Amino acid sequence: MEDVKAEAIQKMTPLLENQPAKQVKFSLEHDVGEWLIPGLQRLVRREEPLNRNDVDLIGLDYALKVMALREDCRFERSWSIHRRGEVSIDVSAEVRVRFGIRS
């Protein structure tokens, strides 16, 4: 059975790379640890804010943590209102801390 799960993970990983909320949801539902941090990191780093579908998929607790980390990833020279761009730094260590992931 582990062989089947490993093959499914291998085939699904590239399909989920552009769907980070689904990657997080499936990681939690099916105990696929190698999807959790990359999915959360993509949600934090991407340009688009979380939307209703993302929140429905990952749940409110995870969504609030993602939003808080997104908020902390701002670089601004002065106060202004503008859309945040994609974040180019590696936030995986902070994801581990804030979500209590030990791996």
Contacts of 60 (CB under 8 A, 6+ apart): none
Using only the alpha carbons of the chain, give its radius of gyration. 15
Closest CA to 20 of 3, 4, 2, 35: 35
Distance CA 37, CA 24 (A): 8
Every domain of the chain and the residues it spans: 2-99
Which residue stretches of the chain have pLDDT < 70? 75-81
Mind listing the pLDDT tens digit for each residue in 66-88?
999 998 887 666 666 677 888 88
